[in-house]
A and B are shown apart, each in its own frame.
Chain A
Amino acid sequence: MTTDQQTSATVWPDEIYEVLKQAGITQVAYVPDAGHAKLINRCHADKAMRAVSLTTEEEGVAMLAGAWMGGAKGVLLMQSSGVGNCINMLSMIEECRLPLLMIVTMRGVWGEFNPWQVPMGGSTAAALENAGVIVHSVERAEDIRETIHACTALAFNTQRPVAMLIQQRVIGFKNWNK
């Protein structure tokens, strides 16, 4: 499978969308990643969700802090390289004890072609954990629904930052010969 083949047959983005919808998520902040393409489209198509394209991932951390202050729930979508852009902004989440739900698609760890993805991919989980974020990693598509459900509950019920990492094996290889 390649990320370019994220078609109607790929059900896990729809499963994520359904869980987010059910949880009452209304703000979706993202920097695009091919692995999030289908989910981003579904969120944009939903009139009850506001999907906001960011210039850098840390914007989303601050935005969702504001959302919670105003009584709204959000989710932040990014690829693993974006985690490095968030670190200092995450101090606000810890200090104010705010919920933050992040979904991170992994690059640079499994079947990668682009060597520039390797440094951040290799330190994504540790960087998040060092910044106080609880990390749950999924290796198989069939575990995604349950995991995003658990992450969402943990984040908003306990007001903690929680990230679900979707491992590259789930997302598939990027086709460089297109």
Chain B
Amino acid sequence: MAAKKPAGLDRRKVVAALLADRGDALVVTGLGSPTYDTYAAGDHDLNFYLWGAMGGAVMAGLGLALAQPKRRVLVITGDGEMLMGIGSLATVACEAPKNLAIAVIDNGHYGETGMQRAHTARGVDLAGIAKAAGFKSATTISTMPAVQAWLPAWQKKAGPVFADIKVAATPAPMRLPLRDGTAIKHRFRSALLGADAIK
């Protein structure tokens, strides 16, 4: 019998590890599972949870990073969401924001919509695309020690920084954060900019 394929990383453990020591970082999450993973790792006022706008997570991260150059910005998104906005890797590479990091939670599938096979399971190499676009730091990660080793990169390394983190194509239990966009905005902006920001 052929050796069983490795099960792949547990996405909840990966995202919890990414955020265990987030400091004062600002986090943008791509719709679907990455939003739920981020919430499951601990709700935070400085999480900008997207529940739609597929393809927009990285660019929302860029606008935020340019607006807040002293803060670290981490975008946590899915492989499908990343591919819908794949041009944004080119735009981010050109702008080269030092404080922006992108982590793709890559299950090789469209998990949210019924686990259809996606491009990254068919040979598309996201870290290769990021590198070719001009990211100096772009890596594929498939073990927990490598996730741990990447933490200083997203937290401190001169960006933009990119990691494609391979996880199992196993749905995680539902954990649903705040979904009213205006409430998310007010919460985020008042935490970041002070109470006057929502006057």
Could you list which residues of chain A lie within 8 angstroms of chain B, going by C-beta atoms? 26-27, 50, 52-56, 58-72, 74, 88-89, 91-92, 95-98
Contact A96 B181 (CB under 8 A): yes
Contact B91 A70 (CB under 8 A): no
A60 (CB) vs chain B CBs: closest residue: B59
**Residues on the B chain within 8 Å of A54, using CB:** 87, 91
**Nearest CB of chain B from residue A159's CB, rounded to whole Å:** 9
For B45-74 the 0/1 string (1 means CB < 8 A from A) is: 000101111111111111111111000000
Could you list which residues of chain B lie within 8 angstroms of chain A, going by C-beta atoms? 26, 28, 48, 50-68, 85, 87-88, 90-91, 94-95, 181-182, 184-185, 188-189, 192-193, 197
Contact B63 A95 (CB under 8 A): no
**Nearest CB of chain B from residue A48's CB, rounded to whole Å:** 12
Name the contact of B94 in the complex, choosing from A53, A65, A88, A97 (C-beta under 8 A). Answer: A53
Contact B91 A69 (CB under 8 A): no
A95 (CB) vs chain B CBs: closest residue: B181
How long is the Cα–Cα vector from A67 to B61 in the complex, in angstroms?
9
Contact B28 A66 (CB under 8 A): yes
Query: SS class of chain B's interface: helix, strand, loop or mixed?
Result: helix
20 examples of A-B residue contacts, CB within 8 angstroms: A50-B95, A52-B91, A52-B95, A59-B56, A61-B59, A62-B53, A62-B57, A62-B58, A62-B85, A63-B63, A65-B53, A65-B60, A66-B67, A67-B63, A68-B63, A70-B64, A71-B189, A92-B53, A96-B182, A96-B184
In order of increasing CB-CB distance, the 6 nearest A-B pairs are A70-B67, A66-B63, A62-B56, A55-B87, A95-B181, A72-B67
Contact A27 B87 (CB under 8 A): no
**Residues on the A chain within 8 Å of B53, using CB:** 62, 65, 88-89, 91-92
If A27-B63, A55-B90, A98-B185 touch, whether A71 touches B197 (CB-CB below 8 Å) is yes
Contact B56 A89 (CB under 8 A): yes
Contact B189 A58 (CB under 8 A): no
Contact B68 A70 (CB under 8 A): yes
**Nearest CB of chain A from residue B72's CB, rounded to whole Å:** 12
A59 (CB) vs chain B CBs: closest residue: B59
**Nearest CB of chain B from residue A3's CB, rounded to whole Å:** 25
How long is the Cα–Cα vector from A40 to B173 in the complex, in angstroms?
48
- Besides the known contacts A52-B91, A66-B48, A69-B48, 7 further A-B residue pairs in the complex with CB atoms under 8 A apart: A56-B87, A63-B60, A70-B67, A71-B197, A91-B53, A95-B181, A97-B185
